[in-house]
Amino acid sequence: MALHGDRAPQRRDADRASGNPFAILGDPAIDQTINTPYSRLAADPVPPEVAYQLIHDELMLDGSARMNLATFVTTWMEPQAQRLMAESMDKNMIDKDEYPQTAAIENRCLAILADLWHVPDPSVVTGCSTTGSSEACMLAGMALKRRWTRRTGADPTRRPNLVMGANVQVCWEKFCNYWEVEPRIVPMSGERFHLGPEEAAARCDEDTIGVVSVLGSTFDGSYEPVAEIAAALDELAARGGPDVPIHVDGASGAMIAPFLDPDLVWDFRLPRVASINASGHKYGLVYPGVGWVLWRDADALPEELVFKVNYLGGEMPTFALNFSRPGAQVIGQYYTFFRLGRSGMTTVQRAARDVATSLAARIDAMPQFRALTRGDQLPVFAFTTSDDVTGWDVFAVSRGLREHGWQVPAYTFPPDRTDLAVLRVVCRHGFTHDLADLFLRDLERVVADLESGAAARTGASGFHH
């Protein structure tokens, strides 16, 4: 172990002889003499209490997850859920023969999502869990590309393309880069901050593998008009144009709309929707590490993409970019579904939306700000400075809020609205009206300091969208 000075901790001969690396050393001051390793392993083990405390103390330098209004990711779960997940950390999701009940629970979650998203035949569910929406989107994109290849043949002179708005999450740009697909990105325009139906249809041709429609933009929390986009593509096909499928990136909204917007048609009720993904670790209310992707039916997922693996006692189908991963997050998702039921999920999501709409309205009422969205779709809203504010900007506000412990991102919108810089607030389960009151109090203090000249009035916030 790396030590300050020359003094080494005293060990009993029995401990040294046994070679037991878990032997606890009795020196109460040992944690004052040990350096945490930075670039290489120390020579010897340290007591578990010491390792825990030193790492725990370093992690205090992180911001508070509960005060992080930048992240969509769940930051609080019940102790019972945490206990179940801890008990399942050692179970490998890929070992379905070894852990058949974990596999059965995964299938139950898929069936629940199929019901929520109106899969045409819920008795046959085609889908899988993933490590998050990024992996789920990669899988959905691969299926779209393979279906296009089937339709058009493997002509190397043709290059597939994917149509999407400039507000898509970066995973879609990664997909296009990794799988050699041309990204046809529709820029923002005026007060249109996401993909519109006419713009989507206009960019489709015979080499378009699909259109990505986002149910809940990360830029401002708004839903894209999935039904209107589907109608525009229906009209395009009826005129003799290409028959283009839709993938709905419901990373957040697919866990909100079924409970708060049941009459909104965005899912498999639209025949043109081929696949949907969601993040269980966002508004699915589970700690990071779980996503979901479902296809309309087995035909939407080309059979050649599903591998049959003879592993640990039996043959099993697998379609994923990852192989080994813990079953804990899937168990956490099932706990949440079981614990809350439909009415409980509705209550939790409505509470988040109520906080968002209330806080957005109160900030919009401040003369220094203008709300772009109001938290009435995703419990998320974006706001910018009013036209009268010239002495400071949203980046200064973001930095000032961080001094009070709040993490609120400030960023510019993508082309063609890079002129617009905003702040965005994500209201998650656990961000209560009381915390919103405290946040508003601190926001007002930051504004007062900026207007008095007591704080820096511009400069990057340090956040990256």
What is the arithmetic mean of pLDDT over 451-462?
Answer: 68
What is the arithmetic mean of pLDDT over 264-291?
Answer: 98
Q: What span, in angstroms and rounded, lies between the C-alpha atoms of 93 and 130?
A: 10
Pairing of strands 273-279, 126-130: unpaired
Q: Is the pLDDT of residue 213 over 70?
A: yes
Taken in order of first residue, the domains within the chain and their CATH numbers are: 13-59 (no CATH), 79-336 (3.40.640.10), 352-452 (3.90.1150.160)
Using one digit for the tens of pLDDT, what is the confidence trace for 14-33?
Answer: 444 445 555 555 566 665 67
Give Cβ neighbours of residue 180 (< 8 Å, ≥ 6 apart).
159, 160
Q: What span, in angstroms and rounded, lies between the C-alpha atoms of 198 and 214?
A: 16
Q: Is the pLDDT of residue 6 over 70?
A: no
**The pLDDT of residue 10:** 47
Q: Are 210 and 137 in contact (CB under 8 A)?
A: no
Beta bridge partners of 280: none
What is the arithmetic mean of pLDDT over 318-330?
Answer: 89
Q: What's the chain's average pLDDT?
A: 91
**How confident is residue 311, by pLDDT bands cut at 50, 70 and 90?**
low
Pairing of strands 273-279, 246-249: parallel
pTM for the complete prediction? 0.91
**The pLDDT of residue 96:** 83
- The encoded tokens of residue 434 equal 């009381």
Q: Are 266 and 248 in contact (CB under 8 A)?
A: yes
CA dihedral of residues 138, 139, 142, 147 (deg, nearest 10): -140
E strands within 332-450?
369-371, 380-385, 410-412, 421-426
Q: What span, in angstroms and rounded, lies between the C-alpha atoms of 277 and 445?
A: 40
Q: What span, in angstroms and rounded, lies between the C-alpha atoms of 303 and 313?
A: 23
- The encoded tokens of residue 250 equal 């419901």
Q: What is the CA radius of gyration of the chain?
A: 25
Give Cβ neighbours of residue 129 (< 8 Å, ≥ 6 apart).
93, 106, 109, 110, 280, 290, 291, 292, 329, 330, 333
Q: Angle, to 10 degrees, between the axis of helix 100-116 and the axis of helix 328-364?
A: 30
**The pLDDT of residue 30:** 61
**How confident is residue 249, by pLDDT bands cut at 50, 70 and 90?**
very high
Q: Are 307 and 320 in contact (CB under 8 A)?
A: no
**The pLDDT of residue 17:** 41
